[in-house]
Structure 1
Amino acid sequence: MGKLVLLAAFGVALSALVGERIIALRNLSLASRELTKNHLPNCRLVKGIEYGSEDLTILEDGLALISTGLKYPGLPCNPDAVGKIVVLNMRSGENPIELKIEGDFDASSFNPHGISVYTDEKDGSRYLFVVNHPHSNSQVDIFKFVEEKNTLLHLKTVKHELLHNVNDIVAVGVDSFYATNDHYFTFEVLKLLELLFSISWCDVVYYSPEEVKSVAGGFPSTNGINISPNKRYLYVSDIMNHRIAVMEIQKDNTLSRVKEVAVGSLCDNIEVDRETGDLWSGCHPNGMKFLIGDLNDPPGSEVIRIQNIHSEEPVVTQVYADDGRVLIGSSVAAPYKGKLLIGTVYHKTLYCDLN
């Protein structure tokens, strides 16, 4: 009888703990948030991108490189989706063109996630770094972008035990980068427990051919990452805490926390305006809807802009919001000369006028 009482007490305690964690997760995911539409006056869906534009970056000449076709565990995806990189000319707004991949690379298993471009100051060569999940693995592939041929020449694949759940990346050299891990565990069941119990073991990793090391930790999940125009600071999306962390790069490539800015949403990738230094992010206004992925009650989209992030009073502005009827699950937003390009994890891409 004593054992039964103990088991019953344990069951009650466990149920109470799980219930408390579910309530906490609902709060963290903003499950009760109702979104008010905030549309821009002149937007159109980009033809030719049907299966997501999880990350994108716009080069100085107006060419937007976009990753599409991501298949991510637990999220809706079309079996016909093919992982690829496309280029869209922001100046002309023409339909995107797929970049052909050349070199020793398995394009059939390409599953692109976060991306970053590094321009070599010596000769102007541009290198595209892509977080890739072939066969549910985690690696970074480095390509040379050959614009005149609309091709990507595969140069290198980077794998390392510290790069176990890579989400996003920012290149800081022709073969060096910082990357975020959005989970600590690699098994899907443990990932769910990690989320449920808010285990803060995620980190930022620095990679170069000479060294690989964890340089900042203590996050429940690290998502988008990008660098300031002066190359002194990194910005990291502490997505589950609804904050953007400002990190200063040290001489040994480690990171020190400077400040955190609350954004009121679950912000995904981060793009930085090279002229103003403003941060732009595609965000998930209701993370629970995003995790459930019910297309009959679709997760919405939100674009957040942060101005003067290094000042005493950064300005956080909602630039765009939709309830999912136009755009589902925004993950990135980038401006270019009065235009705005908004990407999604598995849905479409929106091209808007800001003026």
Structure 2
Amino acid sequence: MGKLLAVALVGIAAALAAERLLAFRNRLNASREVAPVSLPNCRLIKGIETGSEDIDILPNGLAFISSGLKYPGLKSFAPDKPGEIFLMDLNEDSPRAVELRISRGFDLASFNPHGISTYVDRGKELEMKSTVELFKFVEDDNSLVHLKTIRHDLLTSVNDIVAVGPDSFYATNDHYFTDFLLMFLEMFLGLTWSNVVYYSPKEVKEVASGFYSANGINISPDRKYIYVADVLDHSVYVMEKHANWSLTHVKMLQLDTLVDNLSIDPRTGDIWTGCHPNGMKMFYYDPENLPASEVLRIQNILSEKPVVTRVYSDNGSVLQGSSVASIYEGKLLIGTVFHRALYCDL
């Protein structure tokens, strides 16, 4: 009887493990491939070789690009090189990326930017250690002055932020655990433990939860709605923002790709996002089978039938692992987790 019970328990455990493995592969789109969709007038941005994970463009056309992300389990072409912030002026005829000088006293050696957001003339930059770094951009000499480091117990594993004030923001925590093995186990088991946190000097609170892996976050042009990408759920959530900064669920848009960072066209309200058609290739990097890139444009997300258009896709021969797509006056910047960046005239 004891042996039969042991065999039964082993069989149940094996079945559960197989089910979890299948679900994990599905969440990573392990078998999906995409047909190429090219754009005219595109060029790789010179000087960006180790990623352009997030891009934020000011209303005046100045684009800030975070580069050099080191993330557990993902490829890095320069693991010992500190992170960087680049600037591009999209008003120029042939814009180029210029590395911004960061003020003395800031720990550049451990700088690992992950997500970027701007508010008026101040930028916030994110580290893997789950601190939010507050900078002031000095346009006269293309430099960043470090103002302060923000830490809080609720900012456990921050992926991205959207600034809503000089020193207040919404942040996504992409995992409950920060240890890589526990993070991987959390993903494998399909635990919905990640969340969105509102931070201000006066109040810090969880405002949304129940995500597999909350990733990109942004705000609508009218400041009424917060958009959250759940990368492992292949979806974009719409949340209504209230006067007390709390959020309530409005709707969810299901997609067939791993949605990374979200950018908003300030004129139309369209959502632009860099995506991973096959996330398995991001975690198991193979030079012979490169991770692809994909850019989606989402129009009228609040309507009953939003329009989703695949604007760009590549099998990795040009661009590997796209993570963001930002638009300004008919110009598109496509960034990647660890590879290069693409500039296109639409």
Common topology (TM > 0.5): yes
| 99-108 vs 210-219, greater mean Cα deviation | 99-108
Q: Structure 2: how far apart are the matches of 1:12 and 1:287? A: 30
1:128-160 CA-to-partner distances (Å, cap 9, x unmatched) read 111112xxx211000011111111111110111
The answer to whether structure 1 residue 71 and structure 2 residue 70 are counterparts is: yes
**Runs (5+) with no aligned partner, structure 1:** 120-125
Counterpart for residue 11 of structure 1: 10
Counterpart for residue 123 of structure 1: none
Q: Secondary structure at the match of 1:95?
A: coil
Question: CA offset at residue 24 of structure 1?
Answer: 1.0
Q: Secondary structure at the match of 1:144?
A: strand
Question: CA offset at residue 242 of structure 1?
Answer: 1.2
Counterpart for residue 352 of structure 1: 344
Counterpart for residue 129 of structure 1: 124
Counterpart for residue 307 of structure 2: 315
Counterpart for residue 83 of structure 2: 83
| Residues 56 and 66, structure 1, Cα contact 8 Å, conserved in 2 | yes
| Residues 36 and 321, structure 1, Cα contact 8 Å, conserved in 2 | yes
Matches within 5 A, 1:27-46: 27-46=26-45
Q: Secondary structure at the match of 1:19?
A: helix
Give 1:348's aligned amino acid.
R
Q: Secondary structure at the match of 1:172?
A: strand
Give 1:30's aligned amino acid.
N
Counterpart for residue 147 of structure 2: 155
| Residues 75 and 282, structure 2, Cα contact 8 Å, conserved in 1 | no
Q: Secondary structure at the match of 1:11?
A: helix
Counterpart for residue 105 of structure 1: 106
| Residues 103 and 155, structure 1, Cα contact 8 Å, conserved in 2 | no
| Residues 130 and 141, structure 1, Cα contact 8 Å, conserved in 2 | yes
1:91-140 CA-to-partner distances (Å, cap 9, x unmatched) read 22332111111153111110001000001xxxxxx11111112xxx2110
Q: Structure 2: how far apart are the matches of 1:186 and 1:48? A: 31
Counterpart for residue 144 of structure 1: 136
TM-score normalised according to structure 1 size = 0.94
Q: Structure 1: how far apart are the matches of 2:79 and 2:275? A: 25
Matches within 5 A, 1:267-278: 267-278=259-270
TM-score normalised according to structure 2 size = 0.97
Give 1:296's aligned amino acid.
E
Aligned-CA RMSD value: 1.2
| Residues 112 and 131, structure 1, Cα contact 8 Å, conserved in 2 | yes
User: How many residues align structurally?
Assistant: 344
| Residues 51 and 81, structure 1, Cα contact 8 Å, conserved in 2 | no
Matches within 5 A, 1:1-355: 2-77=1-76, 78-92=78-92, 93-119=94-120, 126-133=121-128, 137-354=129-346
| Residues 272 and 325, structure 2, Cα contact 8 Å, conserved in 1 | yes
Q: Structure 2: how far apart are the matches of 1:164 and 1:279? A: 27
**Runs (5+) with no aligned partner, structure 2:** none
Question: CA offset at residue 262 of structure 1?
Answer: 2.0
Q: Secondary structure at the match of 2:165?
A: coil
| Residues 88 and 94, structure 1, Cα contact 8 Å, conserved in 2 | yes
Question: CA offset at residue 11 of structure 1?
Answer: 2.1
Q: Secondary structure at the match of 2:87?
A: strand
Give 2:218's aligned amino acid.
N
Give 1:267's aligned amino acid.
V
| Residues 282 and 330, structure 1, Cα contact 8 Å, conserved in 2 | yes
Q: Structure 2: how far apart are the matches of 1:162 and 1:240? A: 21
